[in-house]
């Protein structure tokens, strides 16, 4: 290999681990982990060469190119992107938005207009579900925080509960992957690898695809590494990686992505006219 390694900015959540399986041992790459919003910022600022960016951020920087056939997506329930509410959806008047998120924030805005038929106020908030729900009717939470919002699973993993059940009662969790599927009949694409033109040589494209191909067969090993000595969370993680998260960017996923971009433009979250470009 000649030249400096390709600087990869990956999401630190469980759902990204199959996409980066083995890449930390590949000298062609220099890998770092951040929350989704930070991955986008680093790519926009050219601190990294390629980022596993929130899909909405493709329209907010660049121009970017997409590494083909790789994504974090769902085709129905996603389990890790959710709206938590203490009242019926029709009565939601304010929503706290997880500051780690970009795509799911846009998704909530789209769903409120087109699916839930409500017009709440939106406020960015650090991802503390108890605090969010004390100040708002509902809260968006993403990633591991949403997947493991059950307090028993978190305690088993040695973590702090996301939600203090003694302080907030009767919380309903609305899966936003399910809501999108119900509204459109299509998969939803949360993130993909993207970078500027010529940032990813053909050999590195193949390496990223091969990492995914290997990673999707290693759900049990990835879950054990992510939650060592915690069988309860390991079991949740294995089911999640196998059943909820999809890692391909095929024709159906691309159709869902284009639909999302169209709706996001309609609600004023991004400019219209998405031109999907691939390495």
pLDDT, one tens digit per residue, over 85-139 is: 999 999 999 999 999 999 999 999 999 999 999 999 999 999 999 999 999 999 9
- Report yes or no on 271 lying in a domain: no
Instruction: Write phi, then psi, for 206 (nearest 5 degrees).
Output: -65, -40
| Whether residues 193 and 67 fall in one domain | yes
Q: Which domain holds residue 226?
A: 6-73+187-266
211, 116: one domain: no
User: Are residue 101 and residue 171 in the same domain, yes or no?
Assistant: yes
- The answer to whether residue 274 sits within a structural domain is no
Q: Are residues 258 and 120 in the same domain?
A: no
- Rounded to whole angstroms, what are the CA distances from 59 to 62, 64, 274? 8, 8, 7
Q: Give the count of beta carbons closer than 10 Å to the beta carbon of residue 248.
A: 15
Q: Examine the domain organization and report whether 92 and 178 are in the same domain.
A: yes
Confidence of residue 151 (pLDDT cuts 50, 70, 90): very low
Q: Is the pLDDT of residue 154 over 90?
A: no
**Portion of the chain with pLDDT greater than 70, in percent:** 92
Residue 278 covered by a domain: no
Predicted confidence band of residue 177 (pLDDT cuts 50, 70, 90): very high
Residue 124 backbone class (left: φ over 0; alpha: ψ -120 to 50; beta: rest): beta
Q: What is the pLDDT of residues 29-40, one digit of tens each?
A: 999 999 999 999
In this structure, the answer to whether residues 57 and 194 fall within a common structural domain is yes
Q: What is the mean pLDDT of residues 4-33?
A: 96
Number of domains in the chain: 2
- Residue that is last in its domain, among 184, 204, 219: 184
Q: What is the CATH number of the domain that holds 180?
A: 3.40.190.10
Q: Is residue 95 part of a domain?
A: yes
Q: What is the pLDDT of residue 169?
A: 62
Instruction: Over range 201-217, report the average pLDDT.
Output: 97
**Alpha carbon separation from 144 to 74, 81, 147, 159, 279 (Å, rounded):** 15, 9, 5, 11, 30
- 63 preceded by cis ω (within 30°)? yes
Contact 54, 102 (CB under 8 A): yes
Instruction: Give the integer Cα–Cα distance in Å for 33 and 36.
Output: 9
Domain boundary among 184, 199, 226: 184
* 153 and 208 housed in the same domain: no
- Mean pLDDT, the chain, whole residue set: 91
Does residue 260 sit in the same domain as residue 213?
Answer: yes
| Residue 175 falls inside a structural domain | yes
For residue 273, pLDDT beyond 80: no
Residues 93 and 159 in one domain: yes
Other beta carbons within 10 angstroms of residue 249's beta carbon come to 24
Q: Are residues 60 and 90 in the same domain?
A: no
| DSSP at 278 | B
Strands laid side by side in the 121-125 sheet: 121-125, 94-98, 138-142, 81-85, 172-175
**DSSP letters for 218-261:** -HHHHHHHHSTT-HHHHHHHHHIIIII-B----HHHHHHHHHHH
* pLDDT at residue 160 tops 80: no
In a domain, 117, yes or no: yes
The pLDDT score that the predictor gives to residue 230 is: 87
CA distances from 189 to 56, 131, 221, 259, 271 (A): 9, 29, 25, 10, 18
Say if 157 falls within a structural domain.
yes
| Domain final residue pick, 158, 184, 210 | 184
pLDDT of residue 5: 95
pLDDT of residue 168: 56
A 10 A CB-CB count for 269 gives 19
């Amino acid at each position: 290999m000649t030249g400096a390694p390709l600087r990869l900015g990956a999401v630190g959540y469980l759902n990204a681990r199959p996409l980066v399986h083995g890449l930390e041992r590949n000298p062609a790459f220099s890998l770092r982990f951040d929350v989704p919003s930070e991955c986008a910022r680093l790519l926009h600022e050219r601190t990294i060469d390629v980022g596993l960016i929130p899909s909405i951020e493709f329209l907010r920087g660049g121009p970017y190119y997409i590494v083909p056939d790789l994504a974090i997506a769902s085709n129905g329930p996603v389990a890790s992107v959710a709206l938590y509410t203490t009242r019926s959806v029709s009565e939601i008047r304010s929503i706290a938005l997880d500051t780690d998120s970009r795509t799911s924030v846009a998704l909530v805005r789209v769903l409120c207009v087109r699916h839930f038929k409500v017009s709440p106020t939106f406020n960015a908030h650090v991802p503390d579900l108890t605090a969010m729900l004390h100040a708002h009717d509902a809260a968006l939470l993403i990633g591991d925080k949403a997947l493991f919002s059950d307090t028993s699973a978190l305690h088993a993993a040695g973590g702090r509960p996301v939600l203090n059940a003694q302080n907030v009662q009767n919380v309903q969790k609305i899966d936003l992957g399910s809501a999108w599927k119900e509204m459109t009949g299509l998969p939803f694409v949360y993130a993909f690898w993207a970078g500027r033109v010529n940032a990813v040589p053909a050999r590195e494209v193949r390496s990223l695809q091969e990492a995914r191909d290997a990673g999707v067969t290693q759900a049990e090993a990835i879950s054990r590494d992510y939650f060592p000595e915690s069988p309860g969370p390991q079991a949740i993680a294995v089911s999640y990686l196998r059943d909820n998260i999809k890692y391909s960017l095929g024709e159906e996923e691309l159709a869902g992505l284009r639909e999302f971009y169209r709706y996001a433009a309609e609600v004023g979250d991004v400019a219209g006219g998405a031109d999907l470009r691939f390495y």
